[in-house]
Chain A
Amino acid sequence: MNLILPIFNSGVFVLDVETFIALTCFFIAAVLLCYLLVTYSSDSDVGDVFPNSLSLKDKIEIKKAKKQGIEIKETIEKEAYETALSILDKARSDSLRILGQAQVKAQGLISNTYVISKESRAMLERSVNEIYEKQGRVLGNISDEILESYRLAVEEGKKDNIRTLYEVTEAMRQEAIQGVNELKDVVKKETIGAQDALEEKITTEYAKIDSEVKEYKSKKVEGLNKKIFELLSNVYMELMGEDLDQIKHEKLILTLLEREIKKSGLNF
């Protein structure tokens, strides 16, 4: 199964204990084997007992024989043993160092491998789960931040909307007021115009009616005069009772003269 690790984990490989022990034992054995090979090669060269052409199996046989034969030589063995211990200690330290380097190399190799063992898969799943959890937390945090940002943005947007709405409302109000004012002006002009027209019409009608009234009045006065003349005739008849002769006429004039002078208070 090929898994592509996330980029942020490409440089880190987590070793569990079991893998570490296995790798350590493997390398220790390898180191010891190498050491023995090197050591036995040098002894044979010195005594020419074991020529280089001998196989390893022969050498072991020889060694066993020599071990049986040399048991006597405890001093030599003791020295050899101490030397071996020191060599082992050195090898152990070297092995640790090498293990460290190997671990680093192994981690590099493992990081590049596409075949993942069952344990590694589980570990990887755990890592992935951790990553998921971490990412979940990160995403949660991010979500919180986003939510906060979103909330702030919403708040800001809300404020902007409120401000915009207020501005729009104000603009609409101003426009409405302007419209109302214009309408009012128009209505006022129309009203004034209508009023002027009405006044003019009233004036015209009044002049017409006044002319008709004057005409009617003239006719009425004319009729009135006729009635007055008729009345005068009646008054003549009632006053005089008969036709006025000169004597009565003169007497009437004298009476009128005396009455009018007294009434008017004339002082000539």
Chain B
Amino acid sequence: MSSESSKKIFNSLQTRQRANEFLRFHGLIMTLSHRVGDINLEKLIRDVFKNGDPTWLGVVKEDLPDLFSGDIKKSDIDVLDTVKSMIENSDQVKVEISFEPSDQFITDFINILEINLDNSLNKGFVVEFDVIEDMDMGARFYMNGKFLDLTIRSQVENYLISNDVVNRYI
């Protein structure tokens, strides 16, 4: 059960930004575990995430309901530690795009990676989206020192080169 919870929470993170938020949350919980007396976790979370609750926090509340009631159990902490460890051991992916990606896009993006890339160790992916507004349409993909140019310009140029358009038509 805890493993599934950890997996579920990890899968809800998906991006580097959310993973960092989770690590801050994990740190907060670790400090609270030694605290004595009543704990208003909701208030503490709002203090940490002033821009609103992260999307992944709903999954945590769903799988670890006791944690938000002020009763920090060892099993819950283990789940959070596992998630932290999964984040640290995950494959880090960086993507440059010209827009803020939608959640669906992020999910589909990771699904494509999980389906098409060898991930036998089931380490999971954490994607860092770097938004560059004046960038050409498409994306640039970096992972473990490897690079894929997914911009439309590059695709068209490759198409022109592969079809020898310059020599054939110019």
Contacts and interface: CB of A to CB of B under 8 A. Distances in A.
B170 A227 contact: yes
Given A244-B137, A252-B138, A268-B143, A257 B148 contact: yes
B116 A258 contact: yes
Nearest to A245: B99
Given A249-B99, A254-B108, A261-B112, A228 B160 contact: yes
A185 to B, nearest CB: 52
A249 B137 contact: yes
A267 B99 contact: no
B160 A257 contact: no
A246 B99 contact: yes
Given A232-B156, A246-B102, A257-B139, A262 B116 contact: yes
Interface in B129-162: 137-139, 141, 143-144, 146, 148, 150, 152-153, 155-157, 159-160
A266 B157 contact: no
Given A228-B157, A262-B116, A257 B137 contact: no
A165 interface: no
Contacts of B58: none
Nearest to B125: A268
Contact of A268 (B91, B137, B150, B170): B91
A236 interface: yes
Nearest to B149: A260
A254 B157 CA distance: 19
Contacts of B148: 257, 260-261, 264, 266
A231 B109 contact: no
Interface string A195-206: 000000000000
Interface in A88-124: none
B13 to A, nearest CB: 19
B137 to A, nearest CB: 6
A16 to B, nearest CB: 138
B150 A257 contact: yes
A258 B112 contact: yes
Contacts of B150: 253, 256-257, 260
A207 interface: no
B166 interface: yes
A89 B99 CA distance: 192
Given A257-B109, A267-B118, 18 more contacts: A224-B166, A227-B170, A228-B166, A231-B165, A244-B137, A250-B104, A253-B105, A253-B139, A254-B108, A256-B138, A256-B155, A257-B148, A260-B141, A260-B148, A261-B113, A261-B148, A266-B117, A268-B117
Interface of B: 91, 97, 99, 101-102, 104-105, 108-109, 112-113, 116-118, 137-139, 141, 143-144, 146, 148, 150, 152-153, 155-157, 159-160, 165-166, 170
